[in-house]
Structure 1
Amino acid sequence: MHPAKLKAEIAMAESSSAIIADELKVSYSSISNVINGKSRSKRIEKRIAEIIDMDPEVLFPPTKTTVRRTSEQMQRSA
């Protein structure tokens, strides 16, 4: 979900990033970073999903993990 739409959904649920931050005892910027997709926190994602009545896995889908090869592995494949 686009961050602006997510913020609107939170507001329609009569909440805010500041309220969520206070509830979870984290900084406002932590909430903002999760909403804007700059960081991940299962606890924050779960609370946001609860507030707007959505499944956290749908609201914040898993991201692909980058697998890095060691220099040894790269030499073997060359």
Structure 2
Amino acid sequence: MSGTGHQTLLDCRRLSRYLRQHSFTTDQIAVILGLDHRATPLRLYRYTVGLTAVQTVDDFHRLSGINGAGLREYPPV
């Protein structure tokens, strides 16, 4: 994970934890993160729960039972 991408993820994790402590929902947190980060909805939700792209792809494949071309990690936008 690159330096800026990693720092962005850490910042989003920190803010998400803070907002959860103040009863914000996952959807609300994703909207708030979208104000500071130009990203796809999937990436915003990924930031909301604090997962790396690799973790997201692995979890998606595990939960959906899809092997192969289900989701892929792309470089940051």
Give TM-score scaled by structure 2 length: 0.30
Give the number of the structure with larger relative contact order, counting CA–CA contacts within 8 Å between residues 6 or more apart: 2
Considering fraction of residues, name the structure with more helix: 2
Over alpha carbons, which structure has the higher Rg? Answer: 1
Give TM-score scaled by structure 1 length: 0.30
